[in-house]
Amino acid sequence: MIKILAMKELLDQLSSPKFVFLFAVSTVLVVFSMYTGSSAYVGARAEYQATQALSRSEIENRRSYDELSQYGVKVARAPAPLSAVAGGVGSALGRSARVRPDAQPEMAPPPIADTPVLAVLGELDFNVVARVFLSLFVILLTYNAVAGEKEGGTLKAVLANPVPRTQLLLGKALGLFGTLLAAVVVPAILGVLVMKVGFGVALSGSAWLRLLGIAASCGLYLLAIFAVGLLVSTLTTRSSVALLVLLLVWVAFVEVIPKASPMLAGQLRPAPSFATLQSERDRIQADFQQGMFRTFSRTFAAVGTTNVNTPEEQEARQHVIDSLVNRGRDSLSQERDAKLQRLEEGYRNQQDAMTNLSLVFARLSPAEAMSHAVEVLAGTDFDTHRAWRDDLVAYRRELEAYLKSKGVQFGGFRIAIRTQSSQGGRGASAGHQSNSITFGGPSSADTRLDLSTLPRFSPQTESFLGSLGRAAPDLLILGLWATVALLLAFAKFLKYDVR
């Protein structure tokens, strides 16, 4: 009986103008979103390759290790192939950074800075199409599933026969969901062909598994919206009321809850802004520089005023000066680095706490749960970017250790005091000595650098199982939404008044 009811519902829907409209619009949206996403990925890949080539050229043209330390190394992040499906935070955050051994990594401006209109209008990728448009199509299929049948009188006629209500609703649900799959699966396959064949996006075995995981996430999301649609249709007696209620629920899922979550989290767990962080960094650096000049003054007052008569004495005095300055510089550098580390950790901990709380609130919406799961599996979520940022900090330490092994000193200046003698008087042997003070950084002769041992930036990559584990809570939320809504819909339909 269930099979017969499901097939009848499926055939009725497939032969209706509604299905033709949904299929046509789905095909256009899905294929176009995959086209634009694949085009953006190809552009990001070309940008990554160009940045890598520029970085190698810059390093090879450095004439000294001090110059390499001053300008650092430019590091680019390879775009994820599945960013063609879900762009995530890729356009909102920088794709490259300059890493210097004595400073925090400096992120390049994000792509959205070149096209600020995207910040207003947003991007259109498959993630957006599934979250917004396909969920609307589900509402169009389910709003009159029960209420519409009652208005037309067919529900009363069918139940006049010995047909169990559970079998009737289950058969109708299977037929409607099969219609939805028919309207979505074929366009999705065409979109993958556009990505793979049209743009030559290379997908490894792990990437194919991730793509299947993305498809499962979207399927669970559409099932959750489908179940909510059935529930609302069983709770109302008129299809117009059901449609209005479902549109309000859709707006809450897609727009209100995701956008209200960061504001609510910011009120409950406020975090300092980046401008505040940068201001504190500048203050700590200014304190360090003032401390260095105080060290110079004390050193010059203690040693620089003494007279020397031979080059050996001048060299010994310079050795004492270097020792005092280096000792003061090392102490100030340690104090500065400790303050910066505490500042960075405090900023990141507060930002992470606010972000995590915002995600907890946003996950109340199945739309946001699906979106987060898709971005995690695609490798374009915020946590993936944060891991890349942590890799940059680790690489900075490796670069600092490498340059220290090459004799580069960080965090201060070198004070050099030279004594000049001038003879005066008629036949006098006595002379006049004057001391001059010169500040400068450590210098080295222009040499061809040995870059064979220069550390290479190698970011950590997350396995498919690791990504699936992080996406599991979102998939569980979607499953709970679908299960609870379906059970409530069946429970309500058992007592539904068909008169």
Query: What radius of gyration, in Å, describes the C-alpha atoms of the chain?
Result: 33
What is the pairing mode between strands 96-99 and 431-440? unpaired
Most confident of 154-168, 232-246, 403-417: 232-246
Give the span between the Cα atoms of 321 and 438, in whole angstroms. 12
* Lowest mean pLDDT segment, chosen from 37-51, 215-229, 310-324, 351-365: 310-324
Domain positions in the chain are 2-272+356-396+467-494
Mean pLDDT of 315-334: 80
Mean pLDDT of 233-250: 93
Most confident of 271-275, 278-282, 478-482: 478-482
The amino acid sitting at 340 is L
Mean pLDDT of 71-91: 88
Q: Is the dihedral of CA 456, 97, 258, 147 positive or negative?
A: negative
Mean pLDDT of 268-287: 87
* Lowest mean pLDDT segment, chosen from 67-76, 156-165, 336-345: 156-165
More confident site: 159 or 389:
389
Give the span between the Cα atoms of 404 and 407, in whole angstroms. 5
pLDDT band at residue 74 using 50, 70 and 90 as cut-offs: very high
Per-residue model confidence (pLDDT) at position 347: 87
| Burial classification of residue 22, based on how many CB atoms lie within 10 Å of its CB (0-12 exposed, 13-18 middle, 19 or more buried) | buried
Is 410 a residue whose pLDDT tops 50?
yes
Q: How far is CA 157 from the centre of its chain?
A: 55
Q: Across the chain, what does the average pLDDT equal?
A: 85
pLDDT band at residue 222 using 50, 70 and 90 as cut-offs: very high
| Burial classification of residue 177, based on how many CB atoms lie within 10 Å of its CB (0-12 exposed, 13-18 middle, 19 or more buried) | buried
pLDDT band at residue 333 using 50, 70 and 90 as cut-offs: confident
Mean pLDDT of 359-374: 93
- Per DSSP, what are the bridge partners of residue 440? 414
Is 356 a residue whose pLDDT tops 60?
yes
Is 245 a residue whose pLDDT tops 60?
yes
Per-residue model confidence (pLDDT) at position 196: 92
Percent share of the chain, pLDDT over 70: 89
pLDDT band at residue 377 using 50, 70 and 90 as cut-offs: very high
How many residues make up the chain in this entry?
499
Give the span between the Cα atoms of 373 and 356, in whole angstroms. 15
Q: Which two tokens stand for residue 295?
A: 């060290």
Is 436 a residue whose pLDDT tops 50?
no
- List Cβ neighbours of 336 (8 Å cut-off, separation of 6 or more): 284, 285, 287, 288, 411
Query: Do the beta carbons of residue 65 and residue 363 sit within 8 Å?
Result: no
Angle formed at CA 309 by CA 303 and CA 313, multiple of 5 degrees: 55
- DSSP state at residue 240: H
Percent share of the chain, pLDDT over 90: 40
Q: Strand, coil or helix: what is 341?
A: helix
Mean pLDDT of 243-270: 92
Give the span between the Cα atoms of 390 and 457, in whole angstroms. 12
More confident site: 441 or 90:
90
Is 236 a residue whose pLDDT tops 60?
yes
Mean pLDDT of 126-154: 90
Mean pLDDT of 55-78: 88
- List strands edge to edge, sheet with 106-107: 73-76, 96-99, 106-107
Nearest to 235 by CA among 324, 157, 146: 146
Q: Which two tokens stand for residue 6?
A: 């499901």
Q: Is the dihedral of CA 436, 441, 444, 447 positive or negative?
A: negative
Is 434 a residue whose pLDDT tops 50?
no
What is the per-residue burial (b if ≥16 Cβ within 10 Å, else e) of 290-308?
Answer: ebbeebbeebbeebbeeeb
* Lowest mean pLDDT segment, chosen from 110-124, 208-222, 278-292, 433-447: 433-447
* pTM of the predicted protein model: 0.82
